Amino acid sequence: MDIVQLVGLSLLLIALPLGSWYYLQTGLDYRLQAFQELQDIAPLPAFEMENFDDSIVRFERFEDQLVVGHFFNERNEAAFAENLAKLHEQFDERSDIYFLAFRNEGATSAAAARQLLKETGTLDEDQVFMPAAEEATLRRMAERIQLPLEENGASLMDNSLLFFADSAMVRGFYDLQKPEDMRRLIKHITLNLHPTEEADIIYDPETEK
């Protein structure tokens, strides 16, 4: 056996298995780290509200699903619209994730909500919801899910945070204004997609940078 054959055999028997093991171990470590970033913060409060299209949005619809939520305000409308469009495009084919933006009925009308969704291409009655409630109701909901407004120096009037919930449990917060937070949100959504459906979305940290 000549030197070329020996090198080839070494690659086959040693280098390739080691490379495969390293790749799998790196992927496992990455998933474990991502799951450790998530916490059981607080249960998503039960609610029943009127959507922008006059339909009724009930908590039960989201109990066993994934939810990206937001307490909508006009000050962060542009950032919310941009990120909603990107998230909806990426996860549009999934039936286990919903986008839920609570709006102050005294500040944002149903017509304005519809126009926003229409302009961003997210007017999707099966996946995107913008129900309305009084400010006091929204404030209580934000407090119950422990939305960290005070530590971010914000209020519901200028809230820039999204929250991620899995099976009605809020598990993380993400700032619309921070690209690294949006990448982290995509990672968390992807890793929690329900296994009953084919996982056709693969998070690649290199392509999301």
Is there a contact between 48 and 122 (Cβ–Cβ < 8 Å)? no
Q: pLDDT value at position 172?
A: 96
Q: pLDDT value at position 197?
A: 45
Helix (H) or strand (E) holding 99: strand 97-104
Over its C-alpha atoms, the chain yields an Rg (Å, rounded) of 21
Of how many residues is the chain composed? 209
List b or e across 49-69, with b for residues whose CB sees 16 or more CB atoms inside 10 angstroms: bebbeeeebeeeebeebbbbb
Cα separation of 115 and 109, whole Å? Answer: 10
Q: pLDDT value at position 187?
A: 94
| Positive or negative torsion for Cα 151, 154, 160, 161 | positive
Cα separation of 132 and 51, whole Å? Answer: 6
Q: pLDDT value at position 32?
A: 55
Bridge partners of 165? Answer: 67, 170
Structure tokens that stand for 190 in this block: 């992807």
Q: pLDDT value at position 196?
A: 57
Count of other CB atoms within 10 angstroms of residue 187: 19
One-letter amino acid of 50: E
Cα separation of 124 and 140, whole Å? Answer: 28
Q: pLDDT value at position 199?
A: 44
Give the predicted TM-score (pTM) of the model: 0.77
Q: pLDDT value at position 194?
A: 81
Q: pLDDT value at position 100?
A: 98
Per-residue pLDDT of the chain (209 residues; tens, 9 = 90+): 566 555 555 555 665 565 554 444 444 444 556 557 789 999 999 999 999 999 999 999 999 999 999 999 999 999 999 999 999 999 999 999 999 999 999 999 999 999 999 999 999 999 999 999 999 999 999 999 999 987 766 788 899 999 999 999 999 999 999 999 999 999 999 999 987 544 444 445 444 44
Bridge partners of 190? Answer: none
Question: Which residues have CB under 8 Å from 114's CB, separation 6+?
Answer: 52, 53, 123
